[in-house]
Amino acid sequence: MKNNSIKNDEIGSIGIGAMIVFIALILVAAVASAVIIQTGEKLQQNAQQTGSETQQEISGKITVTSVFVWDNTASYLVYFETAPGSNIIDETTVQYQMTCEDDATNTYQYVSDDFTTATEFDETALTNNLEPGIAYAIQMDATAGGDCSATSVGINSQVTLWIHVENGGSTYETLSITDTSRGAQVI
Distance between CA 123 and CA 103 in Å, rounded?
Answer: 33
Residue 161 structural domain: 62-177
Do 131 and 147 fall into the same domain? yes
- Both 77 and 153 in one domain: the answer is yes
Q: What burial class does residue 97 get, using C-beta atoms within 10 Å of its C-beta: 0-12 exposed, 13-18 middle, 19+ buried? A: middle
pLDDT tens, residue by residue, 83-98:
887 888 888 889 999 9
* pLDDT of amino acid 6: 59
- Which residue, 129, 109, 110, is CA-closest to 119? 129
84 and 144 housed in the same domain: yes
Name the pTM for this structure: 0.69
pLDDT single digits (tens) 23-64: 999 999 999 999 999 999 999 999 988 887 776 666 678 899
Pair 97, 111: CB distance under 8 Å:
yes
**Looking at this protein, which amino acid is placed at residue 67?**
V
The number of distinct structural domains making up the chain is 2
Specify if 41 maps to a domain.
yes
